[in-house]
């Protein structure tokens, strides 16, 4: 066993150990503990698990690779994400924590939206849950594919059997998510968030001391624009990049972390930790792309269209085997931290928003808990077959995943914001916002993608306007709904 492979094995032993620890520790607990950690998460775990589940392998592969290949215009995506992250922690986190508890102790986003308006109908809750179930299953499949590719890159012995790499990656995630639930997911994401940050900082730091950097690649040709200048990007790149930040307000696997904390006070610390993590991580990824572009061995990656492997190449060339193995584990950690969160959110949505209210209203906590675990397994199995399929249909599904961020952000972002800040919002308005936001996002993607404007922006605007207009045309909320809004707005939850 090579030192690089040894580092990988040790990492996965720790991850599986965390899952089994929380399985035995949480015996006898119910669905709120399994799906929301019993609202007991501290500031560091909340912050790093939220950010780790957000960024995925994109942060270490896709983002620096896109800058490497397409230039500094791609930096605006990072700027948009940093601003969106900060806004999410500052404006949404504390209010959602209070509102979700006041609104009948909601444990899922669809449940919260229904309880927020004291709706007798389960229509919005069920619609949201189905959307979550479908798109998160596809999302998990994309994470499985990402994990498979990274496994093959860092463990070359698996190149001849790619499905084995997929099985190993999927099995590890299934085990600790199935057994450990939300706490296991959050704690593994906490350690994976630390690994991701350490790896991102380590590579550009080492590149600074390398003598093989050739900065002539950044010289402007024929008096042209300096290629290191992000403001030289087109206005479409800037607007679309900043629009990425709007997606945070509607990402269930991220904002559910806000609902899981001990109290609002914890979120004040979490916000600082989370924002600092994001700024450091995105900044390090940008620095790695710039310095990596000046590092001679990476030139071949761009020429071969494999720029997403820049982190893998740099880690293996700059560090000894065992340390390189730890750094490369961070890529797998990034993919895992997103897949596990998506598995759990999809499972909780089905269990709490469809199974219990529709099929088994009197289901016990134990029954609901085990149904949730079974759904985790089912979703993972379906995602596995999607990921392992080589058919044209699978390719189409995977292309849709690229637009899922925009879909979730456009459908749920405006409604979440309005439900937290505008007491005139109504149930019908929320339904209109979700439906119109999703439809416009998809329609723009299919019909107007050539405009160069990211579909999240028009979808978000349309969803927000629809929610406002329909709410104003609808009857005013009842006194009970208004009273609940004011209570959630004014109280300070410390227990």
In a domain, 453, yes or no: no
- The mean per-residue pLDDT over the stretch 464-488 comes to 96
Q: What is the pLDDT of residue 278?
A: 94
In a domain, 374, yes or no: yes
Q: Which long-range contacts (CB under 8 A, 24 or more apart) does 161-169 make?
A: 163/388, 166/384, 166/387, 166/388, 167/384, 169/144, 169/332, 169/335, 169/336
Q: What is the pLDDT of residue 35?
A: 52
Does position 484 have pLDDT exceeding 60, yes or no? Answer: yes
Q: What is the pLDDT of residue 405?
A: 86
Q: How many residues are given for the chain?
A: 495
| Cα distance between the two ends of the chain | 50
Alpha helices in 26-107 (DSSP H): 31-36, 43-55, 62-70, 75-87, 94-102
Count CA atoms closer than 13 A to 201's CA, side-chain side. Answer: 11
In a domain, 482, yes or no: no
- The mean per-residue pLDDT over the stretch 173-190 comes to 70
pLDDT band of residue 440 (cuts 50, 70, 90) is very high
- The mean per-residue pLDDT over the stretch 105-118 comes to 88
Q: What is the pLDDT of residue 476?
A: 95
For all residues of the chain together, what is the average pLDDT? 81
pLDDT band of residue 222 (cuts 50, 70, 90) is very low
Does position 279 have pLDDT exceeding 80, yes or no? Answer: yes
pLDDT digits over 42-67, tens only?
788 888 878 877 777 778 877 888 88
Q: What is the pLDDT of residue 161?
A: 85
CB 182 within 8 A of CB 260: yes
pLDDT band of residue 38 (cuts 50, 70, 90) is low
Higher pLDDT, residue 344 or 259: 259
- The mean per-residue pLDDT over the stretch 156-173 comes to 83
pLDDT digits over 366-405, tens only?
787 788 788 888 888 888 888 787 655 555 444 555 677 8
Q: What is the pLDDT of residue 27?
A: 57
pLDDT digits over 334-368, tens only?
777 777 777 877 777 788 778 877 788 777 777 87
Alpha-carbon torsion, ordered 34, 419, 190, 15, to 10 deg: 40
In a domain, 159, yes or no: yes
One DSSP character per residue, 205-255 reads HHHHT-S-B-GGGGSPGGG---TT-GGGS-HHHHHHHHHGGGGGGG-HHHH
Higher pLDDT, residue 317 or 282: 282
Q: What is the pLDDT of residue 226?
A: 55
CA distance 68 to 440: 32
In a domain, 457, yes or no: no
Higher pLDDT, residue 253 or 34: 253
Query: In 3D, which of 342, 285, 280, 284 has the Cα closest to residue 308?
Result: 285
In a domain, 296, yes or no: yes
| Tokens linked to 292 | 């990596």
In a domain, 438, yes or no: no
Task: Tell me the CATH number at 43.
Answer: 1.20.1730.10
Q: What percent of the chain has pLDDT over 90?
A: 26
CA distance 429 to 344: 28
Strand, coil or helix: 295: strand
- The mean per-residue pLDDT over the stretch 237-255 comes to 90
Domain that holds residue 242: 3-393
CA distance 301 to 62: 13
pLDDT band of residue 465 (cuts 50, 70, 90) is very high
Instruction: Count how many domains the chain has.
Output: 1
In a domain, 86, yes or no: yes
């Amino acid at each position: 066993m090579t030192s690089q492979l040894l580092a990988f094995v040790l990492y996965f032993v720790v991850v599986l150990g965390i899952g089994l620890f929380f399985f035995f520790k949480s015996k006898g607990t119910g669905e709120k503990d399994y799906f929301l950690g019993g609202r007991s998460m501290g500031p560091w775990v909340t912050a790093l698990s939220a950010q780790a589940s957000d960024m995925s392998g994109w942060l270490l592969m896709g983002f620096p690779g896109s800058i490497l290949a397409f230039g500094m215009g791609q930096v605006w995506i990072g700027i948009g994400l940093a601003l969106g992250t900060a806004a999410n922690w500052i404006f949404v986190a504390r209010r959602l924590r209070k509102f979700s508890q006041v609104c009948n102790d909601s444990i899922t986003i669809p449940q919260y939206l229904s309880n927020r308006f004291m709706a007798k109908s389960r229509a919005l809750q069920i619609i949201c849950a189905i959307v979550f179930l479908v798109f998160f299953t596809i999302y998990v499949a994309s994470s499985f594919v990402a994990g498979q590719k990274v496994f093959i890159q860092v463990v070359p012995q698996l190149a001849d059997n790619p499905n084995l790499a997929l099985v190993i990656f999927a099995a590890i995630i299934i085990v600790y998510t199935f057994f450990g639930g939300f706490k296991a997911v959050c704690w593994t994401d906490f350690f994976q968030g630390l690994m991701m940050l350490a790896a991102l900082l380590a590579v550009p730091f080492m590149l600074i001391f390398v003598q093989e950097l050739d900065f002539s690649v950044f010289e402007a040709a024929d008096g042209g624009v300096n290629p290191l200048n992000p403001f030289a990007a087109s206005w479409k790149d800037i607007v679309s990049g900043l629009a990425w930040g709007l997606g945070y307000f509607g990402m269930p696997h991220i904002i559910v972390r806000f609902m899981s904390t001990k109290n609002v006070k914890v979120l004040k610390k979490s916000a600082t930790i989370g924002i600092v993590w994001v700024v450091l991580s995105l900044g390090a990824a940008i620095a790695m792309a710039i310095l990596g572009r000046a590092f001679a061995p990476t030139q071949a990656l761009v020429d071969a269209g494999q720029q997403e492997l820049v982190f893998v190449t740099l880690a293996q060339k700059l560090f000894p085997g065992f340390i390189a193995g730890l750094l490369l584990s961070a890529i797998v950690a990034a993919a895992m931290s997103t897949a596990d969160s998506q598995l759990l959110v999809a499972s909780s949505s089905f269990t709490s928003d469809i199974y219990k209210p529709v099929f088994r209203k009197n289901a016990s906590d134990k029954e609901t808990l085990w149904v949730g675990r079974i759904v985790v397994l089912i979703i993972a199995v379906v995602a596995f077959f999607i990921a392992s399929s080589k058919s044209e249909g699978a390719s189409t599904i995977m292309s849709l995943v690229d637009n899922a961020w925009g879909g979730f952000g456009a459908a749920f972002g405006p409604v979440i914001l309005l439900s937290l800040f505008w007491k005139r919002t109504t149930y019908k308005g929320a339904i209109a916002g979700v439906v119109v936001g999703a439809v416009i996002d998809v329609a723009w993607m299919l019909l107007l993608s050539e405009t160069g404007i990211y579909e999240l922006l028009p979808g978000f605007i349309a969803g927000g306007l629809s929610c406002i207009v329909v709410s104003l045309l609808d009857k005013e909320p009842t006194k009970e709904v208004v009273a609940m809004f004011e209570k959630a707005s004014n109280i300070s939850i410390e227990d």
